[in-house]
A and B are shown apart, each in its own frame.
Chain A
């Protein structure tokens, strides 16, 4: 146990070391955020705004698969392979759209970090007491929320999200086609069959209820 007033040798207090480490980390993060904003940030953001798919350019493999699988259909073989190839192509396309989307959604964090460290530097500069973690977190949350929402309303974000949605739906649709083929192979009713049955059921129900109302007069529904 140390006596109060005793001079502590440098490096003997783990708490002080930790605090020093934390401050060093915070400073490094601030410098990185500044470096990002000052160099690559504007370039990448500009590219994303011009062409949100910029990060997924070079989609040659999925395009080749697409061309190959969309070729002439043969009557007796290769159909299931074609469907599987289309699933693979759609999966690759979705991965690329996801990468593009992730690039767009990660952009605002750099600006949020920069603003946050500026705000903290201003709050804790000089001999001022550092803010309580709750105040610091509330500030971080407020700034990040603003930046994320600002990004969400940008054309680049909306376009990237739309393309990701389109790619995701295409993948699911092609997976369904494989499932349909498998159902047919085993003589099972498919999802399309189910949709057709429910369509007929819904229409039939409407007709029966309309007849019921007519029979009751004045369009009265039968409880």
Chain B
């Protein structure tokens, strides 16, 4: 190609991209926040306990699994990741496969929740939700579906209250917080390395000063983990979505979810960062909640462990560690392609994740089999 034609191409590309960025600016100006909706799958409030709310989703199909399923997200980010938009919603997809789905929403913890510990979340809030579901449905046990930190909570619950747990499904959940050292991918596990680089006193001072682990602080740590993506998402990446309204709205929904990052309750954050990330107590068998050691061998319910093979936040080996530590003889691992968030929101992984969970549950708990 001649210099002249290369120059011509270069200039026309600059003009086209400038035009797209102008268009993006106009689209931002025309779109209101209320137009960007997430977490819209219909549900109704069943119980409120402090700021924590228990919801039951409206059924979308005839029941295929008999036992109610309680979804528990973590305290870092919000459950809306599992219900980002109708065609990218784990929740909606599971409902359409006939599951009776309940949700525990931690709300927006602030300084008022400074003193809450993981003990409170596992032995009070989850326990109260499980009891309410048992009461309302007449089932002795429920199935727990934990996501990320919520997976740790539900695993601890299954170990401490095995008599109330029918099945345990965990997704992108860390169990061995030091297993990142086995992962050779350079972009995996920065959160583990970063947390271990701090002194325990640094974490205490941070939490004591702010009263919480600030949501904005965690957002900045997550942004750092994908440095170039964080630098380009509001400029170059916009060029790719600006001509497609559906893609543009997908982008805005993801941004809305990212912006909705509540503070992590202070004392629970100290446990999360010091006792789990730094000291690895859950995997080592010395994590104590409400005066009882969480012994993973006490997890006797069937367990499904789903993780993402390119999860830069929770490296796969951190999740895989559960299999060798539990007491259950019925353990299934499903590694899926994709990343930590992509597993839930990418169009490619949508069907796989929900189908894997629904198939696994129906095989153990199918309505046709007459289980209760």
Cβ-based interface call for A144 (8 A): yes
| Cβ A162 vs Cβ B198 within 8 A | yes
Cβ-based interface call for B32 (8 A): no
| Cβ B124 vs Cβ A141 within 8 A | no
Cβ-based interface call for B114 (8 A): yes
| Cβ B132 vs Cβ A223 within 8 A | yes
Given A18-B7, A149-B187, A172-B210: A162 touches B13 (CB 8 Å cut-off) = no
Cβ-based interface call for A111 (8 A): no
Given A16-B4, A129-B1: A22 touches B10 (CB 8 Å cut-off) = yes
| Cβ B197 vs Cβ A141 within 8 A | no
- Selecting from B34-42, B165-173, B224-232, B243-251, the interface stretch reads B224-232
Cβ-based interface call for B289 (8 A): no
Where the two chains meet, the residues of A that have a C-beta atom closer than 8 Å to any C-beta of B are: 13, 15-16, 18-19, 22, 129-130, 132-133, 137, 141, 144-146, 148-150, 152-153, 158-159, 161-162, 165-166, 169-170, 172-173, 176, 191, 194-195, 198-199, 202-203, 205-206, 209, 220-223
Cβ-based interface call for B363 (8 A): no
Partner of A148 from B11, B113, B199, B227 at Cβ < 8 Å: B227
Q: Which A residue's beta carbon lies closest to that of B9?
A: A132
| Cβ A150 vs Cβ B211 within 8 A | no
| Cβ A206 vs Cβ B120 within 8 A | yes
Ranked 7 nearest A-B pairs via Cβ: A19-B7, A223-B132, A158-B197, A202-B115, A148-B227, A145-B228, A221-B128
Q: Give the interface SS of chain A, mostly helix, strand, loop or mixed.
A: helix
CA distance A137 to B237 in the complex (A): 11
Cβ-based interface call for B190 (8 A): yes
Q: Which B residue's beta carbon lies closest to that of A133?
A: B13
Set of chain A residues within 8 Å of B8, measured between Cβ atoms: 15
Set of chain A residues within 8 Å of B228, measured between Cβ atoms: 141, 144-145, 148
Partner of B111 from A132, A158, A198 at Cβ < 8 Å: A198
CA distance A146 to B187 in the complex (A): 8
